[in-house]
Amino acid sequence: MIFDILTLFPEMFHSPLEHSILGKAREEGLIKVDLINIRDYAEGRHRVTDDYPYGGGKGMIMKPEPIIRGVKAIRSEDPGAWVILMTPQGISLNQGVAKRLVRLSHLVLICGRYEGVDERVRGLVDEEISIGDYVLTGGELAALVLIDMVSRLIPGVLGDEGAPEDDSFSQGLLEYPQYTRPREFEGRGVPEVLLSGDHQAIERWRRRETLRRTLQRRPDLLAKADLSREDMEILEELKESSGGG
């Protein structure tokens, strides 16, 4: 998977892409991240990339020409590149969107900054993506979130670190509680069943805790989840024992 990043701040990407799983994925050639400075496509002695908004108002707007030139340069090499504008006005990124994007081979992420991007950039992108209903100072952190989410879905990237199928959200539910050594810490133990060696009992306990946690914290997810008859029965029990509702 190739990620091309169009940004005014390529340095913001260095550390997150150098370490841990993403660093290893890059070393192994499973992902390739090219950082492209939008300023390199700006013209004139000062290579200006932003300007005042027509009609007045606060803040600066990113000029269209440098971004559009950058995108055209990438598309001239690979007409199949999928171009995404990172903006709070886009569709919300979630696990389903990441699963769709991982099927593509070349993503181009445009990171908006300042108060916005000239509307004419919107005309040439394939889609616009936001990472949630809050405001960031720019699209760089959002692009990193997207790269991380998509990369870990590429076969081989996670290795022994875990299987994406077990994650919170991949089945539309929250993950069950996990414990490691020590067996007792500051007077708090580990649930007995996890020490029992009874794998069936452990699976049942984990499913129940997954359902309990999702019911408590994210009941909205239960409506969309793929639940068995047994799951439904456990949920009814959990609702009764927590005092109805």
Q: CA–CA separation, 98 vs 155, rounded Å?
A: 14
Stretch that binds ligand 6GU, among 7-15, 136-144, 176-184, 192-200 (CB under 6 A): 136-144
Q: Is 53 in the site for ligand 6GU (CB under 6 A)?
A: no
Q: CA–CA separation, 201 vs 209, rounded Å?
A: 12
Q: Is 16 in the site for ligand 6GU (CB under 6 A)?
A: no
Stretch that binds ligand 6GU, among 127-135, 196-204, 207-215, 235-243 (CB under 6 A): 127-135
Q: CA–CA separation, 99 vs 77, rounded Å?
A: 25
Number of residues near ligand 6GU (by CB under 6 A): 12
Binding residue for ligand 6GU, selected from 7, 37, 130, 210, defined by CB under 6 A: 130
Min. distance of Cβ 115 from ligand 6GU in angstroms?
A: 10
Q: Is 142 in the site for ligand 6GU (CB under 6 A)?
A: yes
Active site residue 167: yes
The CA–CA distances, whole Å, from 17 to 32, 80, 113, 229 equal 10, 24, 20, 43
Min. distance of Cβ 145 from ligand 6GU in angstroms?
A: 8
Query: What are the phi and psi torsion angles at 84 (to 5°)?
Result: -120, 130
- List CB contacts of 157: < 8 A, sequence separation 6 or more: 21, 25, 30, 31, 151
Nearest of 102, 153, 101, 95 to residue 127 by alpha carbon: 101
Which residue is associated with the tokens 């590429």? 154
Q: Is 50 in the site for ligand 6GU (CB under 6 A)?
A: no
- List CB contacts of 83: < 8 A, sequence separation 6 or more: 71, 74, 75, 108, 110, 124, 125, 126
Q: Is 135 in the site for ligand 6GU (CB under 6 A)?
A: yes
Binding residue for ligand 6GU, selected from 23, 96, 132, 191, defined by CB under 6 A: 132
- How many other CB atoms sit within 10 Å of the CB of residue 78? 13
Q: Is 87 in the site for ligand 6GU (CB under 6 A)?
A: yes
Binding residue for ligand 6GU, selected from 22, 68, 84, 86, defined by CB under 6 A: 86
Min. distance of Cβ 75 from ligand 6GU in angstroms?
A: 21
Residues catalogued as catalytic: 88, 115, 152, 167
By the criterion CB under 6 A, which residues form the site for ligand 6GU?
86-88, 130-132, 134-136, 138-139, 142
